[in-house]
């Protein structure tokens, strides 16, 4: 049995849940329609984020995207960062089962 | 009830238990989302109770209460900002974000104050509940405007740093979020329901809104005690100036509240103490998300440490009985 995969990019964003609606709007503008969101906990520059109240709830957004949308997404996310918003963004190459 | 006795109410004792549990590193923990669920219940219950009482209230006084609440929401953060910026102690962005929290209110502190009054059998006006709804949002506007002015001043004094972009905040959407915040909508909606529903129908809801209220509040304060104690670790990074501000600012806000309650609204000591708590408490629900997006230059750990770790415990343990005594003393002048 042969397995067919194609190359994509995974982008993961850790940020405050208060940014979620705006990021989703950005995804929509870029044409990204699919994403997965998790509630996550941790500690960092913004202090303890333990999902106790809305103000200290962080999310992890995961997007699998093609190389064209990837460029536009990273540019848009960079714009958030340049404005001083707190986001941790990292990406990886991935193979997706066709 | 005064002095040490005022601390011996179950809600405050459960708060102390939460602090103790956290300090001894107990594994006591609430399931995820439970604190958020309990706070929804508390807002709904207080809204229903307040609405039922406000249905019988004087509209003229209600409008006056709304007016003064709005003004308090605008003035208190301006005082806070001036204090934080005194001798350039705190940078303008952190000062704007922190002070916005102090112009808004903490529903949990307000509910603890009601528990204090009801456990002690002290009568109080119900108008402060509608004042709480009004005071959730104006301070957010003040915080955003102060940050906007600071940004403008910074841009004039310093050339743009390469790779940095000025913060173009969508103020319209932020204000919409401030006024349609979940806690504001739930509280306001429950008040309308409480005011419109017939007394007979409301009586059927009393087991939910009245009888279990104090028990649920105890559970909530147990959790808040653990949360407050968790923030103690961050005191060092916040620094002496900010931690002191977390105590000085409620004293100023509370004193303004006593004056508004007694002199301008002619409330009894119970009602005036509730207005004082509105003036002295700091929001941790509606304001932090707005500041996280609207003032990204500010450090969220500072304002959460102050509101949850310093001002909330200060008000629960010291502020509530102290402002009640202050209201009695001032009313008697």
Q: What is the spatial distance between Cα B60 and Cα B51, in angstroms, rounded to a whole number?
A: 16
* Residue B168: per-residue pLDDT: 59
Bridge partners of A14, per DSSP, are A60, A88
Asked whether the beta carbons of B75 and B264 are under 8 A apart, the reply is no
ipTM above 0.90, yes or no: no
Q: Nearest-CA residue of chain B relative to A54?
A: B285
* Residue B259: per-residue pLDDT: 97
* Residue B78: per-residue pLDDT: 96
In a domain, B264, yes or no: yes
CATH number, domain containing residue A72: 3.30.70.120
Q: What is the spatial distance between Cα B319 and Cα B11, in angstroms, rounded to a whole number?
A: 15
For A43, the 3-state DSSP assignment is strand
Using CB atoms, pick whichever of B32, B285, B297 lies closest to residue A53.
B285
Q: Which residues of A touch B166 (CB under 8 A)?
A: 83
How many CB contacts within 8 angstroms connect chain A with chain B?
73
Q: Which residues of A touch B242 (CB under 8 A)?
A: none
Residue ranges in chain A modelled with pLDDT below 50: none
In a domain, B70, yes or no: yes
Range of the domain at A70: 5-97
Domains contained in chain B, number: 1
Q: Which residues of B touch A23 (CB under 8 A)?
A: none
Q: What is the spatial distance between Cα A52 and Cα B38, in angstroms, rounded to a whole number?
A: 12
In a domain, B27, yes or no: no
Residue B118 in tokens:
């009801």
Best B18, B39, B173, B300 member to test A by mutation, with max A CBs in 10 Å, is: B300
Structure-derived torsion over alpha carbons of residues B176, B184, B182, B192, reported in degrees to the nearest 10: -110
* Residue A85: per-residue pLDDT: 86
Residue ranges in chain B modelled with pLDDT below 70: 1-6, 158-170
Q: Which residues of A touch B289 (CB under 8 A)?
A: 16-18, 54-55
Q: What is the DSSP string of B56-91?
A: TS-HHHHHHHHHHHHHHHHHHHHHHHHHHHGGG-S-
Residue showing tokens 């923990």: B29
Domains contained in chain A, number: 1
DSSP B31: P
Best B293, B295, B306 member to test A by mutation, with max A CBs in 10 Å, is: B293
Range of the domain at B180: 3-9+34-158+168-225+234-331
B289 touches chain A (CB under 8 A): yes
* Residue B163: per-residue pLDDT: 54
The distance of A10 to chain B (nearest Cα, Å) reads 25
Asked if A83 lies within 8 A of B167 by C-beta distance, the reply is yes
- pTM comes to 0.84
Q: Which residues of A touch B292 (CB under 8 A)?
A: 16, 18-19, 55, 86
């Amino acid at each position: 049995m042969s397995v067919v995969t194609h190359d994509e990019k995974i982008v993961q964003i850790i940020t405050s849940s208060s940014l979620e609606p705006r990021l989703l709007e950005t995804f929509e503008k870029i044409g990204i329609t699919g994403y997965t969101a998790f509630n996550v906990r941790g500690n960092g520059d913004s202090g303890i984020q333990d999902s106790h109240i809305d103000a200290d709830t962080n999310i992890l957004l995961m997007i699998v995207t093609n190389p064209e949308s990837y460029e536009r997404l990273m540019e848009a996310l960079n714009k958030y960062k340049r404005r001083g918003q707190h986001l941790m963004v990292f990406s990886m190459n991935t193979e997706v089962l066709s | 009830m005064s002095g040490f006795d005022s601390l011996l109410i179950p809600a405050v004792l459960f708060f102390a238990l939460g602090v103790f549990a956290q300090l001894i590193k107990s594994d006591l923990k609430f399931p995820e989302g439970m604190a958020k669920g309990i706070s929804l219940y508390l807002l709904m219950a207080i809204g229903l109770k307040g609405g039922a009482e406000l249905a019988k209230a004087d509209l003229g006084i209600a409008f006056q209460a709304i007016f003064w609440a709005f003004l308090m929401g605008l003035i208190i953060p301006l005082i806070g900002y001036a204090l934080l910026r005194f001798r350039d102690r705190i940078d303008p962005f952190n000062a704007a974000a922190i002070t916005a929290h102090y112009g808004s209110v903490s529903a949990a502190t307000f509910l603890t104050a009601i528990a204090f009054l009801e456990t002690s059998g002290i009568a109080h006006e119900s108008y402060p509940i509608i004042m709480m709804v009004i005071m959730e949002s104006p301070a957010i506007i003040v915080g955003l405007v102060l940050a906007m002015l600071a940004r403008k001043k910074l841009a004039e004094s310093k050339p743009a740093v390469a790779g940095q972009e000025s913060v173009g905040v969508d103020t319209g959407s932020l204000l919409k979020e401030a006024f349609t915040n979940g806690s504001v909508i739930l509280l306001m909606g429950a008040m309308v329901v409480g005011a419109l529903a017939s007394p007979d129908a409301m009586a059927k809801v009393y087991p939910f809104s009245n009888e279990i209220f104090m028990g649920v509040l105890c559970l909530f304060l147990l959790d808040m005690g653990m949360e407050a104690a968790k923030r103690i670790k961050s005191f060092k990074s916040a620094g002496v100036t900010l931690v002191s501000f977390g105590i000085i600012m409620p004293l100023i806000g509370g004193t303004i509240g006593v004056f508004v309650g007694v002199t301008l609204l002619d409330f009894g000591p119970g009602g005036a103490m509730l207005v004082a708590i509105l003036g002295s408490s700091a929001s941790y629900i509606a304001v932090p998300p707005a500041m996280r997006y609207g003032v990204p230059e500010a450090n969220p750990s500072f304002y959460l440490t102050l509101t949850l770790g310093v001002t909330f415990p200060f008000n629960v343990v010291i502020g509530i009985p102290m402002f009640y005594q202050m209201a009695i003393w001032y009313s008697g002048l």
